[in-house]
Amino acid sequence: MSFLDRIAECNAHDPANFRPFCIDGATVGWIKHAFAERLAAFPEAFAVSPEEVRPAAQLRGFSDRSAAVEAVLRRLAADGTIAGWRDENYPVAADFAAPPLMQMERAAVPFFGVRAYGVHLNGYVRSAEGLKMWVARRARGKQTYPGMLDNLVAGGQPIGLGIRENLTKECAEEAAIPPELAARAVPAGAISYRQETPEGLKPDVQFVYDLELPPDFVPRNTDGEIESFHLWPIERVAEIVAETTEFKFNCNLVVIDFLVRHGLIGPERPDYVEIVAGLPR
């Protein structure tokens, strides 16, 4: 296994398995054909054809679309099709800067292949022994990716919340990082990927931040989503990423990107260009 394997795992998908989800002439997602046929049973919310899925013609604005679609999604959650309902809405738009055309429950977003955004924080420490990175282990009872390794802080980007505001919130909830310390986090770019899952498609973007932490800082989880934290030499973190699948899939990309930016993966590697090209920004 290798860093390239981790990158490939995040970008495995077959476009033939999907049809577009369109609103007002813009493609805002991609839906698996079988799920699209399920949606045909709800003409009050969706217009389904072999070529595309659209909100029903009578739904002409943000509020109407959001309400009609939510009613259907709640029915699909009740019958077990959509698991892990969170009461957290994500924007649905043609791109990040565009006004949202509707909002959608987070748990349903992969079924519609809507691009989701998130914030991921690399927390690291400089020590006499070298660079170390804080790694979180997700709680065993989490709905998604239980027990897997994670970045120190990571969270989805809900509608109506600024990116820095969301980062500050996630820092407090996941690692008890106070606002004045979280404010030192440095934006380090954004990473995108496109992964097919049993539910649908994840064509997502992660906003990446680096935060150098004081040697005496010890993270503490406050929302029950993290089981434990570990401060490991960066070489150990790199080895786990390259040689195992212990990290949640997209967190691997965040770590690989950190290793590239901090010179720990360098151009002397024969696969360097492929690694860098595999982290599209």
Cα-Cα-Cα-Cα dihedral sign, residues 158, 160, 166, 170: negative
* Structure-block tokens of residue 259: 């290793």
pLDDT for position 29: 98
Mean pLDDT, range 119-144, rounded to an integer? 95
- Does 267 have pLDDT greater than 80? yes
Residue 229 banded pLDDT, cuts 50, 70, 90: very high
Cβ neighbourhood burial of 142 (10 Å; 0-12, 13-18, 19+): middle
Residue 143 banded pLDDT, cuts 50, 70, 90: confident
Residue 281 banded pLDDT, cuts 50, 70, 90: low
- Ramachandran bin of 164, using left for φ above 0, alpha for ψ from -120 to 50, beta for the remaining angles: alpha
pLDDT for position 280: 77
For 98, other C-beta atoms within 10 Å of its C-beta total 11
Q: What percent of the chain has pLDDT over 70?
A: 99
DSSP state of 2: -
Cβ contact 6:246 at 8 Å: no
- Does 1 have pLDDT greater than 80? no
Query: Which residues, including other chains, have CB under 8 Å from residue 51's CB and lie 6 or more apart?
Result: 19, 20
